[in-house]
Structure 1
Amino acid sequence: MGQLFSDTSKDEDHGDLVSSFTKYFKKIKTENKIISQETIRLIEFHLKRGNIREAHSVISDALKNIDDVPINIAVTGESGAGKSSFINALRELRPEEEGAAETGVVETTMMRSPYKHPKIKNLILWDLPGIGTMKFPSKVYLEKVKFQEYDFFIIVSDTRFTKLELDLAKAIRIMKKNYYFVRSKVDIDLQNEKESKPCAFDREKILQLIRSSCVNSFRDNNMDVPQVFLISNHDLFDYDFPVLTDTLIKDLPNQKRYNFVLSLPNITEAVIDRKHTSMLQFIYLQTSMLELFTLLHVPGRECVKEKLAVSLNHYRVLFGVDDTSLESIAKDSQVPVEQLKKVVKSPYLFETKNRETLGKKFSQYLEKLYNDKLLVIDPDIEKIFYFQRAFLDTVTEDAKVLLRETLKKLVQTHPIHSH
């Protein structure tokens, strides 16, 4: 099973584990951490005292919590404001696809509608009936739609925010929930202005006017002016959508951050890098558990190894570089799927002709190991970690290459988006 350690070597291993753990999480920015600082300190506390079983238990509970904790996002606003389109955009579904929220219809429902994320099982977006369709005061409206179940509210409008929506925001704040204002359909506003005043068209000036109109809605109702995010549900690459997602990530609790980040569409390289950082932390925590298994001599480590190896196939799906995602990207960007398959590497990583490339990449990581040692006990566990790291890096680079291809095509076909 593994080498039996003397008391002296056990003490050394404990010290190395503490140093490794502290070093790893110290370099990760607070807004990117997927476990809280309190959890990190508790793990370090147990490791310093040689409480291996307790440290293992804390990491195990943290991983389970990260994987299973529910994320519920409420989306509300007037009928026709673009709520359903916003939900579909976050879930990377077209309106005609199975499971998509229905768009372009008059809202008559008095019920909230749940939409599960296709890749993240515990993330649900709730389409709430517009407050204008439910003739109740704001507080009663929130009780009817079960406000206590949501992590935060997104209030969507395609015009100035109405008094009903502003009153709703006040009630949400009183009930100690976060809310965010989204002004949708700015691409349509820009297109209309360009068609009606082609010579005087000034993209940035029009966007500023839209923002000012929203700001005046708050001032006219004696409200502090919050941040307003201008977005297009049909073009998440542009406008304020990246700023909105950054804000949501920072405001979410650590344990909910991991799955939320992985749920995001690949709209910027920064989002892809965030996914990489989150996934690598998860892998590191899993691998730390294997290290502790070794110290505890717990049977069944091989099963855990097997499980970790199988998880490699999941990365392509989460990073949107699997075959289904490639076909969807090809359809949206009008780039032949064969062309996209030529620029990605991860689908072919384990083919015989590519094993040499993977071996070289692994050798590079082993060289790094001696300068930036993260794992300390078992060479087999080091291999598991660095093979996963090699795979994750390849998938991340594939996602960035696909994003560049998509953006290149977008600029060619929609010059209105180029700055």
Structure 2
Amino acid sequence: MGKSFSKDEHHGDLESSFTLYFKNFKTESKIIPQETIDSIELHLTKGNIQGANSAISAALKNIDNVPINVAVTGESGAGKSSLINALRGVGPEDEGAADIGVVETTMRRTAYKHSKVKTLTLWDLPGVGTMNFPPKEYLEKVKFREYDFFIIVSATRFTKLELDLAKAIQFMKKNYYFVRTKVDDDLQNEKKSKARTFDRKNILSKIRNSYIDTLKKNGLDAPQIFLISNRYLSDYDFPVLMNTLVKDLPAQKRHNFMLSLPNITEATIDRKNKSMQQTIWLEAFKTGLLATLPVVGILRDDVEKVKEKLNHYRVLFGVDDESLEVIAKDSQVPAEQLKKIIKSPYLLDSKKRETLEEKLLKYLEKFASVNGGLLATGLYFRKTFYLQLLLLDTVTEDAKVVLRETYSKISSNSHHPQLLTMDECYSFLTFLTGFVVVFFILSYLRLWAWNEV
């Protein structure tokens, strides 16, 4: 029952191809647990096609449905709400955005759903200092068991209560991350006060080391501090923080969290692409397995699903019409201009004449779907994988093109305004005055010399 051919008939091709594919990924990049991979390989070794198909289906369903809960805590004004909005990919004025700059009065946690990845919830927790409980009791009150990890946010320094909270989280075997926000403000203030000796890299290093020393003195071994700006996400440590969170999550939660990240760098977009490729490969492999069973393949109609898949990818990568309108508003680049430079909306519009090879492939698919076996497996896998990969790569390139188009505009409008400090203005005026004085002296001497001649 559940076997369509013996081990000798397929020569281990299915098992070896599955094994080889996942060997290409590091453990921290795989989107299904190793035990699931081992289980699927075992089914394939035994020739149990239905068992392998069921295991892959269950793994994909688990990825789609498993909840991800992120807790964000810190004192009022530390930038919690801005960070939550950044992680959700929404602006401060967008519908459903967390309120920024509001004094914290509630003692309850507040849930914020991600706009595109419905399984991701970010929880705004009241600062530990606002609740009259020791850290361990605080964690019980905010239901610490529900969260995958904690982000402890500060804009100045971490208080004794927050450090004790980190120890309690560590004791309860949960991951936590210290995030220092508003470093762009620190740099700007430092530049105003010490314009002549200003050294961006050195200042950031001092901020980081001061926090690390404080944390170590409080018994928190080798803590990692992430210095970020909620306004300029691609700068500082925000990309490093995101990579760390993705790596530390369980495999089955890794994929959806990766997809939730904002398109702040091309590297982030590429990582989304690589993660999506794993789900596409699993779906294609499952399609190939089903095609080994006679008649099953001929009953499948994938044509209607192609457009649905394309639209799904466009939403996830932020190049659908609604996302482009938001990007246009934020970057002040017209939405119509953005729509002109992307290709995915028109990918399915062009109708090419069938070549002889394409007709032959269709006949082969029809033949294989009736007879089943390895021929059908290869054909259906190839069709499903490469078609979806074409859609994904097109959308990925669109996301990069939009990022490039808007980055320079955003930078010129608001990113790191290069205003001269008072000291810089004084230095420039001094130089200009000196230059004018020297110019007039030289001009006078030249005129005097000419008159003498």
Superposed pair shares fold, TM > 0.5? yes
Which of these residues, 196, 201, 205, is aligned with residue 199 of structure 1?
A: 196
Q: Which residue of 2 aligns with 1:341?
A: 339
Query: Does 2:109 correspond to 1:112?
Result: yes
Q: Which residue of 2 aligns with 1:189?
A: 186
Deviation at 1:191, TM superposition (A): 1.9
Deviation at 1:90, TM superposition (A): 0.6
CA distance in 2, matches of 1:301, 1:110: 59
Q: Which residue of 1 aligns with 2:424?
A: none
- What letter is aligned with 1:312? L
Structure 1 residues 198-347: aligned runs within 5 Å: 198-297=195-294, 299=296, 302=299, 305=302, 308-309=305-306, 310-347=308-345
8 A contact 2:56–2:286 mirrored in 1: yes
Bigger mean CA deviation after superposition, 304-313 or 395-404: 304-313
Deviation at 1:220, TM superposition (A): 4.1
Q: Percent identity?
A: 65
Bigger mean CA deviation after superposition, 191-200 or 223-232: 191-200
Q: Which residue of 1 aligns with 2:162?
A: 165
Q: 1:268 to 1:6 in 2, by over 3 A?
A: closer
8 A contact 1:344–1:401 mirrored in 2: yes
Q: 1:415 to 1:127 in 2, by over 3 A?
A: closer
SS at match of 1:409: helix
8 A contact 1:183–1:229 mirrored in 2: yes
Q: Which residue of 2 aligns with 1:388?
A: 388
SS at match of 2:100: coil
CA distance in 1, matches of 2:294, 2:28: 35
CA distance in 2, matches of 1:142, 1:301: 55
Q: 1:281 to 1:308 in 2, by over 3 A?
A: farther
Bigger mean CA deviation after superposition, 337-346 or 169-178: 337-346
8 A contact 1:88–1:100 mirrored in 2: yes
SS at match of 1:296: coil
Q: 1:415 to 1:101 in 2, by over 3 A?
A: closer
Structure 2's unaligned 5+ residue stretches are: 359-373, 419-453
CA distance in 1, matches of 2:378, 2:146: 44
- For the pair shown, which has the larger CA radius of gyration, 1 or 2? 2
CA distance in 2, matches of 1:153, 1:13: 48
Which of these residues, 101, 121, 125, is aligned with residue 124 of structure 1?
A: 121
Deviations 1:15-35 (A, max 9, x none): 221122122212122221111
Q: 1:375 to 1:88 in 2, by over 3 A?
A: farther
- What letter is aligned with 1:84? S
Give the number of aligned pairs.
398
Deviation at 1:195, TM superposition (A): 3.0
- What letter is aligned with 1:268? T
8 A contact 1:13–1:377 mirrored in 2: no
Structure 1 residues 9-28: aligned runs within 5 Å: 11-13=8-10, 15-28=12-25
Q: 1:6 to 1:105 in 2, by over 3 A?
A: closer
8 A contact 1:74–1:153 mirrored in 2: yes
8 A contact 1:32–1:274 mirrored in 2: no
- What letter is aligned with 1:387? L
8 A contact 2:73–2:153 mirrored in 1: yes
Q: 1:375 to 1:102 in 2, by over 3 A?
A: farther
CA distance in 1, matches of 2:11, 2:303: 25
- What letter is aligned with 1:316? R
Q: Which residue of 1 aligns with 2:75?
A: 78
Give the TM-score taking structure 1 as reference length.
0.88
Deviation at 1:381, TM superposition (A): 4.4
Which of these residues, 44, 47, 52, is aligned with residue 47 of structure 1?
A: 44
- What root-mean-square deviation, in Å, do the aligned CA atoms of Structure 1 and Structure 2 show? 2.6
CA distance in 1, matches of 2:287, 2:216: 56
- What letter is aligned with 2:169? I
8 A contact 2:292–2:376 mirrored in 1: no
Deviation at 1:414, TM superposition (A): 5.0
Q: Which residue of 2 aligns with 1:377?
A: 377
- What letter is aligned with 1:156? V
SS at match of 1:188: helix
Bigger mean CA deviation after superposition, 334-343 or 108-117: 334-343
Q: 1:85 to 1:358 in 2, by over 3 A?
A: farther
Query: Does 2:26 correspond to 1:29?
Result: yes
CA distance in 1, matches of 2:269, 2:375: 25
Q: Which residue of 2 aligns with 1:401?
A: 401
CA distance in 2, matches of 1:102, 1:269: 29
The structure, 1 or 2, with the larger RCO (C-alpha pairs under 8 Å, 6+ apart) is 1
